[in-house]
Amino acid sequence: RIREHSRILDRANASVKSVNIHEGRKRAALVRYGTPASIPGTL
């Protein structure tokens, strides 16, 4: 059970990392193109 739980945690961490990378790219694009970050739905 401990091994299965750690696998689940690894998957969760991986998904969180991918989401963070995606958000980082979004924000980088916003900064690059000069779009205000205050626009709803951009973050």
pLDDT, tens only, 1-43: 778 888 888 888 888 888 888 888 888 877 777 666 566 655 4
Which pLDDT value is given to residue 2? 77
Supply the pTM of this predicted model. Answer: 0.43
Which pLDDT value is given to residue 13? 85
Amino acid at position 28, single letter: A
Q: Which two tokens stand for residue 3?
A: 């091994």
Asked if 2 contacts 22 with a C-beta cutoff of 8 angstroms, the reply is no
φ/ψ bin of 21: left (φ > 0), alpha (ψ from -120 to 50), beta (otherwise): alpha
DSSP 19-43: HHHHHHHHHHHHHHHT--TTSTT--
Determine the Cα–Cα distance for residues 33 and 35; give it in Å rounded to an integer: 6
Which pLDDT value is given to residue 41? 59
